[in-house]
Structure 1
Amino acid sequence: MSKEKKKSDENMSIKNSEVKMKKELSLIDGVAIIVGVIIGSGIFVSPKGVLKFSGSVGQACIVWILSGILSMIGALCYAELGTMIPKSGGDYAYISEAFGPLPAFLYLWVALFILVPTGNAITAITFAQYILQPLWGLCTPPYEAVRLLAAAVVCLLTIINCYNVKWVTRVQDIFTATKMFALCIIVIAGTYFLCTGHVEHFRNPMEGTEWQPGYIALAFYSGLFSYSGWNYLNYVTEELKDPYRNLPRAICISMPTVTIIYVVTNVAYFVVLSKDDILASDAVAVTFGDKMLGAFSFLMPFFVACSTFGSLNGAIFASSRLFFVGARAGHLPRAIALIDIKRLTPVPSLIFMCIITLTLVMIEDVYVLINYVSFVEALFITISVTGLLYMRWTKSNLKRPIKMNLILPIIFLLICSFLVIFPCYVSPMEVGVGLTFILCGIPVYLVTIAWQNKPTWLNKAFDEFNDSCAKLFLCVPEDEQKVS
């Protein structure tokens, strides 16, 4: 066959096939995405925050257990939402269906500039710090080196996600296995230490407990930050094989697994390290490794880096679909809803997310954003579950392949409301900044979306931007049949 004939056949194949993302995610891939995204930097860093606001080892263990149970209940509520509204986009799709375009846009607005890129930036910086720490010994790695490596890994994983979905799932599977191995080392070392009679840190487990509701809520913020990602599979529902069956199965396999791993890992930390040791450490896992692994202590920073690498990969994959769906609905520039005609991946969405993440990576103290992120995320999760209850009443005719007992979403809603309300008097600054940023999205919505009679020059600028992106990245809108 001549080259011209082959090229013509390829072009005809593109023209006659649907341009849309494929259903390539199996049940195992779904479990790997949930476990891989959840087990990132949190379990290696957050024990300090949980213990700080809990005040005692016993209270901290309770918070870890209840955070896992709460995440499990939330994930089951989201399984009902995800099978009732089988669209990618997670909270954005559910809030839009229940309450309309403005609340959905506000979620997208906050997710675009705070929730997703902040989480990705923190994970990338954690990866860089752990990789570089052995090279600097007892000293702190330079700010410039950490930020450059963090930026490089964000760009690398964005390229992988642009290139092939199967590459993404392969990376996710490998690094999920690696982080499970690292946690097994911690658990085995802690069990050995416990069996040799070291129980002194559990003699008065509730001593120093903080009972104020605000501090309890902040302890849950740190715990839930480690569990964050349990709803990420809902972002990619359209790419999941048999979502009605595999979405709830993936949740029911992954969430109890993560909870058990987290609780036994924290028990191992508390067996080996004193309360003061944990509160003085910025990287509890490394402090643990220094005390228990001896000459092999260098392995812990490496395994933590592998864990954060896999977590960042899964987060980039899932979050890019959120912005793709938002753009497809007209709430973001049309360019973000374009798909690469050869690889069928949302390249513009991935690149846009990469740019915002790189901007946040450059912030010197990006960790101050964790409380902002936790409050805003809790607020919108509360709105999503309220939407679930609201649609039980207003849209009772919707098909619900999974229908949870009504008591579960009610319990979840009450707990989320507690997490939203009580930190207001303990951390009013973080709450105020979060609410202010949400409200700033209203004028943006009114100008860019609700305003029907926009000036010609503004519409022209939007069209030129979208067309330039389509040409630059060789992308077309989903399901478009013709390729120019």
Structure 2
Amino acid sequence: MSQHQFQPTLKLLDATMIVAGSMIGSGIFIVSADITRNVGSAGWLIAVWLITGFMTITAALSYGELSGMFPRAGGQYVYLKEAYHPLLGFLYGWSFFSVIQTATIAAVGVAFAKFAAYLFPPLSEDHVVATIGPLNISAAQLLSIAIIALLTFINTRGIQSGKAIQTTFTLAKLLSLFGLIGFGLFAFKTAVWDANWQGAWDLHKFPAQTNGSGEGGNLASYTAFAAFGAIAAAMVGSIFSSDSWNNVTFIAGEIKNPKRNIGLSLFLGTLIVTIIYVLTNFVYTGVLPLHEIATAEKDRVAVSAAHVIFGNAGTYIIAVMIMVSTFGCNNGLILAGARVYYTMAKDGLFFKKAGTLNDNNVPGFALWLQGIFAAAWSLSGQYGQLLDMISFVVVGFYILTIAGIFILRRKRPDLERPYKAFGYPVLPALYILMGLAFCILLIIFKPEYTWPGLIITLLGIPIYYLISKRGAAKEISTATVNS
């Protein structure tokens, strides 16, 4: 029986498309409504996206050093294990499998279905096709599961299949987003822009209701301290929309010249997406009054903006854009996520079969296991709430990973570092401080966004020791038999 191995076939462009494609899902088309409700002004809406972009690019530049040191499958799981202890790596992998990756795949899949319903209404989330106990199963959920199954199957056929979809769909959505920005600039309304940017830096709670004139009602101003909490709450959406940039580190074993190309793709991908996100929000503030951004139906700001830019056809244009965007996004998430479980299995910390490659040199069992779990989240309907609740955990793991650069420089000075973190030690330290501020403010002002994610993560501790104990018992048994 031949030994299957990962095939390094992905070039710099492919890796960059995985970074950008995994980041851009449906968030940029939606979350600006909630951000506006939290900060209440155009200046702070843009500032939230800029702060998030700065943090994302800074983190990506720092991960470049780690990817050069450990250019193998598993990415962040490996970095945490090497810098700290296998337990911390497992807690990340456990959270990643149980919620972070699988619930995100489910959420992106349902987003695809929701916007497909604009073109084919029977696919709506309001169209209940079955009821099983307390669960009402909608057509949108079933379509989400079908998309997850299709993309999982395609990715089991080999890295080339997944690469082709990722590069094609990511280039398509980048071009369509730049097109939206370009047409949006032509549709700019000077009066709307000027009105939105008056008092652009007045930070306040945007009212849920508007008065009869269409202007905002009484604005609830924040105290100085509460203002920081409002910014942190607003960033939950922008961080979710900018997450998954690190997925490219999970597939290091399949990237050509990973010591160079992973770090470079992280920088290029996060930079491109940050520019697109900021420009898109400038377009929103140039064509929509601020109260329309904050009160867009079902938070679908892009649909409202497209109506202004393209007329009645705008809804369908945005629907197609989001379908392309979410399809490509889910492909990247599905492709990359399975490599984490593969590496955990190799370490004896996940299902053994997940640590095998199929005849196409990809972790087929891990892909299907991930797909089944994501499908279960799709049926549950609880993925949206959980994703809000794990922003705290996601940023916490980013902080620990970047702090690992400082630890590894002392602990493993002998390791080859073909790429060193840009701006070290200032930029990595700055990210850690900003990330800590975000997490502390969430604990104070939005505790409901913190404890569920913490509980899920901490549940991994007894599981780790149970798995480790069984692994140790097997080793002792094997040694006894051999002796």
* Corresponding residue of 1:290: 307
Q: Is the 8 A contact 1:168 1:313 kept in 2?
A: yes
CA–CA distance in 1 between the matches of 2:17 and 2:181?
Answer: 21
Q: CA deviation at 1:370?
A: 2.1
In structure 2, the partner of 1:447 is 466
Contact 1:376 1:434 in 2 (8 A): yes
Offset of residue 378 of structure 1: 0.8
User: What is the correspondence of 1:355-370 to structure 2 with a 5 Å cutoff?
Assistant: 355-370=372-387
Structure 2 match to 1:278: 293
What is residue 405 of structure 2 aligned with on the other side? Answer: 388
Tell me which of 103, 111, 116 is aligned to 1:126: 111
Deviation at 1:208, TM superposition (A): 4.1
The code of the aligned residue for 1:375 comes to F
Shift of 1:432: 1.5
CA distance in 2, matches of 1:45, 1:228: 15
CA deviation after TM superposition for structure 1 residue 198, in Å: 4.0
2:142 match:
148
Q: What is the alpha-carbon root mean square deviation over aligned residues?
A: 2.2
Aligned counterpart in structure 1 of residue 151 of structure 2, from 154, 157, 160: 157
Classify 1:365/1:142 alpha carbon distance in 2 versus 1 (closer, same or farther; 3 Å). farther
**Structure 1 length-normalised TM:** 0.87
User: Bigger shift: 145-154 or 177-186?
Assistant: 177-186
Cα distance in structure 1, aligned partners of 2:414 and 2:472: 36
Whether 2:91 is the aligned partner of 1:73: answer: no
Q: Distance in 1 between matches of 2:180 and 2:261?
A: 31
Does the Cα contact within 8 Å between 1:133 and 1:141 map onto a contact in 2?
A: no
Q: Which amino acid aligns with 1:257?
A: I
Matched, 1:206 2:201: yes
Q: Is the 8 A contact 1:36 1:176 kept in 2?
A: yes
Q: Deviations over 1:301-331 (max 9, x none)?
A: 0111110000000110011111111111111
Q: How does 1:340-379 map to 2 (within 5 A)?
A: 340=358, 342-379=359-396
- 2:425 maps to 406
Question: Do residues 218 (structure 1) and 247 (structure 2) align?
Answer: no
Post-superposition Cα deviations, 1:280-319, rounded to whole Å, max 9, x if no partner, equal: 2322212222232124221210111110000000110011
Q: What's 2:168 paired with?
A: 174
- 1:411–1:455 CA distance, 2 compared to 1 (3 A): closer
Specify the code of the residue in structure 2 equivalent to 1:148: L
Deviations 1:268-289 (A, max 9, x none): 0111122222222322212222
> Is the Cα–Cα contact under 8 Å of residues 125 and 140 in structure 2 kept in the other structure?
no
- Structure 2 counterpart of 1:429: 448
1:305 aligned partner, one-letter code? M
SS in 1 for 2:357: strand
Contact 1:132 1:141 in 2 (8 A): no
Q: CA offsets per residue over residues 154-180 of structure 1, 9 Å max, x none?
A: 000000000121111111111112212
Aligned to 2:86: 101
The amino acid of 1:287's aligned partner reads: S
Structure 1 residues without counterparts, runs of 5 or longer = 1-13, 461-484
Deviations 1:20-54 (A, max 9, x none): 11001101101111111111111112212322222
The count of aligned residue pairs is 442
Tell me if 1:55 matches 2:26: no
- Structure 2 unmatched runs, 5+: 129-137, 205-221, 479-483
Could you tell me which residue of structure 1 aligns to residue 283 of structure 2? Answer: 268
Matched residue, 2:102? 117
Note if contact 2:33-2:293 (Cα within 8 Å) is conserved in structure 1: yes
Give, in angstroms, the shift of residue 116 of structure 1: 0.5
Structure 1's 455 and 70: CA in aligned 2 closer, same or farther, altered over 3 A? closer
SS of the residue 1:417 aligns to: helix
User: Contact (CA 8 Å) 2:64, 2:264: kept in 1 or not?
Assistant: no
